[in-house]
Homo-oligomer: A and B are copies of this chain.
């Protein structure tokens, strides 16, 4: 590290270098150098942080403190105040700020520099002892907590006691003497807890504060946040420290503090947006302790300051050319800007601003496309309340993060996490939230608070996560200790179902059905631009006509994966499928398959019609047959029950017997009508059938079913099953061709590991096709291809490509094979541990693995296109809807990616971004 460059004055630091100065520090420099009114200050670099954290026991670097002292002198000159001075004391704020915004994750200390000397100096200067003691007691608590590690609770107890003893209801009612008393008792707390008196030397205070801020980079909260959002050291490494002279929004009614967005972050509308608190410190806004006023009121209440704010807002957006989220303080009528950053917005707002900024000539279409995080689009697809529901809301709060959610009301983060992990849907209900509640956010469907505004912690974090949030619902009394909340006469107890609507702020008792929202016009415009740019096509995975219809609405350019087993599992088909599996002879099995044939044909016909003229890729049966049978335990229980019935059937009346039958029918026994013929013969038949089923289940048992008798292996050993499916596909194709419906059917073979498998199934397909063509006197048009989801299949890509029209990478199974991980087991057992310990950067089932899986995919693509240069190559694993994975696919030259319907808009944007980013290199 170059010792010259540890500390930068705001007037000197490079506003573009967020890695070195942190986002906040860089922006403070940028704003200062732009001529905006920023309180004088300086930044200590992230490099200094990392150097310190390598060996915290060594303390701060000497040179660092020298440079800090120099900078303090500069501030003293700029402000005319003296750090630790008796007359006109300089107080400082010490704030963290890393390259990436991690709101609330790291520490801040305000009013640093207060001690017995500066205290009286400040009282003299301001002539406002109440203000000074208020600042003092805040400082002692904050410093005590952050720098000295003292539990907040210990301070709060004293505060409440003194307030109570004085018979006061609100903080505002306290006078200087109360606050002085509180300050003294806080000093006592510190002495008692630390064994020494509160540090009085301002430089000692500063040094401890810098260390605390540095240390908070490795705090539990910060680490959890970085893990959740996959923030790597390449993205942000260490926190800078911003030291800045204090300004006060609580100097009277010509003072205020507030936060603002340059546009409305909820809707994206190009208006002044924000909130402020008169006569208050900034922390009051952020912590949600008092409910702030909308910015519109300021125009009336403080017209001059409001004009300064409008100017600030316009300058900020004009300079940064992106929506800014800024903080400010008005001290005695003078506006200071304390911070700015690119605004976090929900999807709707992000899209609207992007589209409108293009219209306003501020940015290009490409820039607009790159501005929207594709994952954000999923927010738009979050369910909203069914419009026709007739529930009445019991209370309304602020609509702090859009979307609706239902779940069990849970009153603390730990329990929310515990219960959420069991798979229960949870709504976290709190008075207000703090950064330490973050794990509760992850585990919940939505967040409800009784205090705080749209920029409170709860609101900001929920919006970041795309989870619904209703904030500041003041009609609710939340009692965390009793685990209940009351709204007038109504009580919500832990576990009661509630519903929140983060788009309206409404809260309901009970569970309300939800519906999917429509695409906004702005989104349509943006995705239209995306489609025009994109090289990769986006297809959808869909198994039914309904899902296919939905996929088209999402903008899918075809179906990349239609899973036929989902059709087998339908209630009206499963009994036939079970009979087919139980059949003793090939002939019996073929008879039963003939019953499935018309059903499958009609499935395919309907899907083809919906998708016409787009491609529909149908995967032949994939799962092992035993997946269609009940499990051994169930059959054994049924058998025991039936044997009981058999014993008792004499003397039972028909009704009871019928009831038994109805009960047993749940395990897919088909029995002749009418029910009243039920008799002991029938029971014997049922027992025989169950016994048969039991034998079959045992015979089909597999130790590792994921790698067992499935996919094309079934097609090879049971060509009659694949034959029926192919017949159904081609008959549906023929029907479309006869009716003049243009379609593009594709038959896809799963789990291929040898060239010969493809050859055999292709021959089977051609046989069926040519018979059908002869029969119907037409020429069938279809494509034939394989999944690429085994390593060996990939290593046979060249000879396989000679026989097929397309490959489709099944990256779920391929990832399992490459890692020798069984996904089901890995994600429940060791994989979280692997990601936590950084053995793996990501869960490879979520993010396409570049080292292993993508390297093999590249081999397959190269080998395959060697044999057939125009080979169509797609991906239909879950990665096909994941933006980073899509970028990898784009780089590899895939033809299309296919993902679940609701991921289609995400993927459409991601493919466009992949193209733009790749072209920019």
Q: Which of B704, B757, B818 contacts A704 (CB 8 A)?
A: B704
Interface string of A699-724 (1 = CB under 8 A from B): 00011111111000100110000000
Q: What's the minimum C-beta distance from A861 to chain B, rounded to whole angstroms?
A: 16
> Is the CB of A816 closer than 8 A to any CB of chain B?
yes
> Is the CB of A840 closer than 8 A to any CB of chain B?
yes
A756 near B840: Cβ-Cβ < 8 Å: yes
From A822, A837, A849, residue with most partner B Cβ within 10 Å: A822
> Is the CB of A119 closer than 8 A to any CB of chain B?
no
Q: What's the minimum C-beta distance from A755 to chain B, rounded to whole angstroms?
A: 9
**In chain A, residues 801-843, which have Cβ atoms closer than 8 Å to a Cβ of chain B?**
813, 816-822, 824-826, 829-830, 833-834, 837-840
A717 near B824: Cβ-Cβ < 8 Å: no
> Is the CB of A790 closer than 8 A to any CB of chain B?
yes
Chain B residues within 8 Å of A704, by CB? 704-707, 822, 824-825
A795 near B851: Cβ-Cβ < 8 Å: yes
Q: Which of B708, B833, B849, B853 contacts A717 (CB 8 A)?
A: B833
Question: Given the complex of chains A and B, what is the CA–CA distance between A840 and B757 in angstroms?
Answer: 9
> Is the CB of A855 closer than 8 A to any CB of chain B?
yes
Chain B residues within 8 Å of A820, by CB? 706-707, 751, 753, 789-792, 813, 816-817
> Is the CB of A796 closer than 8 A to any CB of chain B?
yes
**In chain A, residues 510-534, which have Cβ atoms closer than 8 Å to a Cβ of chain B?**
none
Tell me how many residues of A have a C-beta within 8 Å of chain B: 48
B709 near A830: Cβ-Cβ < 8 Å: yes
Q: What's the minimum C-beta distance from A142 to chain B, rounded to whole angstroms?
A: 37
> Is the CB of A359 closer than 8 A to any CB of chain B?
no
> Is the CB of A586 closer than 8 A to any CB of chain B?
no
A825 near B703: Cβ-Cβ < 8 Å: yes
> Is the CB of A852 closer than 8 A to any CB of chain B?
yes
> Is the CB of A760 closer than 8 A to any CB of chain B?
yes
> Is the CB of A754 closer than 8 A to any CB of chain B?
yes
Interface string of A838-868 (1 = CB under 8 A from B): 1110000000010111011000000000000
Q: How many copies does the complex hold?
A: 2
Chain B residues within 8 Å of A849, by CB? 792
B796 near A818: Cβ-Cβ < 8 Å: no
Question: Given the complex of chains A and B, what is the CA–CA distance between A316 and B251 in angstroms?
Answer: 120
Question: Given the complex of chains A and B, what is the CA–CA distance between A756 and B841 in angstroms?
Answer: 10
**Given known A717-B833, A829-B702, A830-B713, contact A708–B852 (CB-CB < 8 A):** no
A818 near B833: Cβ-Cβ < 8 Å: no
Question: Given the complex of chains A and B, what is the CA–CA distance between A855 and B709 in angstroms?
Answer: 25
Chain B residues within 8 Å of A852, by CB? 753, 791-792, 795-796
B702 near A825: Cβ-Cβ < 8 Å: yes
A706 near B703: Cβ-Cβ < 8 Å: yes
- Using a CB–CB distance below 8 Å, which chain A residues touch chain B? 702-709, 713, 716-717, 751, 753-754, 756-757, 760, 789-792, 795-796, 813, 816-822, 824-826, 829-830, 833-834, 837-840, 849, 851-853, 855-856
Q: What are 25 A-B pairs at a CB distance below 8 A?
A: A702-B824, A703-B706, A704-B704, A707-B825, A707-B826, A708-B822, A708-B826, A709-B829, A716-B833, A716-B837, A753-B820, A754-B840, A756-B839, A757-B839, A791-B791, A791-B818, A791-B819, A792-B819, A795-B818, A795-B851, A795-B852, A796-B851, A796-B852, A816-B820, A817-B817
